[in-house]
Structure formats: structure tokens, C-alpha cells
Homo-oligomer: A and B are copies of this chain.
Amino acid sequence: MVNGEKVGIGRALPMAGERTRAERRDAAENRQQILAAAAELFAARGVEAVSMDEIARAAGVGKGTLYRRYAHKGALCQALLDENTRRMQGAVLDGLRDRQRGALDHLADFLAHLVAHNEENAELLSAVSDAAFGSRRDAFYRSAPYQWQRLMITGFLRRAVADGECRDLDIDYLTDALLAPLDIDLYLFQRRALGLEQARIVAGTQRLLIDGLRARG
């Protein structure tokens, strides 16, 4: 994470040809302070129990500074998730190297990776979801991580159709519909309230999405 903020909700990447200014040294230091303080407080007391005021105080910056970087707690959590997200993305891309396997197989693997990511980052993901309310609601769907997931799914589906693995599909609709059952809030409800095992969720998702419901033949 050399220059932070590349993937999160943060500032858009500079357009080609646009004059861009390097991040100021003091600002960079403050950003590290903020992330470190937030990580420590979250680890100690849980994300929900920590207020933005508190994070600012612990980081030794004013609230204005904190909010300049991270528009809300969700954005801050996204930044903290950044590294894990990249790792997961890398693992997915590695798996794609195997050109022998069909697109639907790749899709199934991809879904398993997403479930594992949910499992490992549940608290932060849940906090991101919490912070996304009202007009921020579709910011989640527009965020880089979600758009990356869409891109991957779209690719799998296109290839599956092209290779004759699938009948013709409404890809634009399906892309989001396939991701919906992996929603972190639903995931946590299934894991905690219903007591379903992670493996069962993976298997169920794959079977539903890939095999469909109706009896074969």
C-alpha cells in the first residue's frame, strides 16, 4: 500500500494528463496516525463502540482533518480493509491462470473466495455496510471493490455464454443478483443466527447459482 487510497472510497484517481500534486508530508503522517489509531481502537473495543471523535483524539488530529481523509467511518474501514482486499483479489487472479477449466468453474471458485473474504473480514465489512445509509447507499455499489466484483462476474458470464456452457443470459441483471446472496449482513445472519457453517454457505451458493433449482434432464 504505497500511496494508499487507490481502491477505497477515497478521491478518484487523477485523470490522464491532469496535473497532480504529491500528498503533503504532514498529511501523509497524519493519515498513518489515523489508520494506526483506528486499527488499535477497533481491535481493543470493536468497531461499533469507537466514535470518530475518539479516533481523531487518539490520532492527535482534529475532527476536520479526520473527515477530510475519510468522509465517514465506513470509508475509514474501507481503507483498513484495503490490504486484505488486495490480497483476496490477487488470490482470485492467481486461480484464473488455469486456462483448462471452464468459466463456470472459475465463477464457482470466485464465489468461494468471496465467502472466505466475508468470513475473515466480517467486522470491518459489516461496519462499512452500517455506514452506508441514505444517500450513501449506492456509494457501496459504486465502490471500487464492488465494481471489481461485478467486472469479474461479468467476465465469467460472458465467457460461459461464448463457450456454450450457458444458455443466453441477461448478464447485466445477473451480475448483481449473483452477488446479493453474499451480502455481509445476510452472511452474518446465516452464520450467527441460523448457525450455518461456512462450507455449507459456499456449497449452497455454488449450487444455486450454477446448477439452478430445477431437476436436471
Contact = CB atoms under 8 A, between A and B. Distances in A.
19 contacts: A48-B134, A130-B137, A133-B133, A137-B188, A138-B185, A141-B186, A141-B193, A166-B213, A166-B215, A167-B214, A167-B215, A173-B190, A173-B200, A176-B194, A180-B181, A181-B181, A208-B209, A208-B212, A211-B212
Contact of A203 (B170, B190, B203, B210): B170
Contact of A137 (B126, B169, B170): B126
A176 B180 CA distance: 10
A174 B190 CA distance: 11
Instruction: Identify which of A48, A130, A133, A142 gathers the most chain B CB atoms within 10 Å of its CB.
Output: A133
Given A172-B194, A173-B196, A183-B183, 13 more contacts: A130-B133, A137-B185, A141-B186, A164-B215, A167-B215, A173-B190, A173-B201, A177-B205, A180-B180, A180-B186, A209-B212, A211-B214, A217-B217
B166 A214 contact: yes
How many residues of A sit at the interface, in one of the four size bands? 35 or more
How many copies the complex holds: the figure is 2
B212 A174 contact: no
A186 B178 CA distance: 11
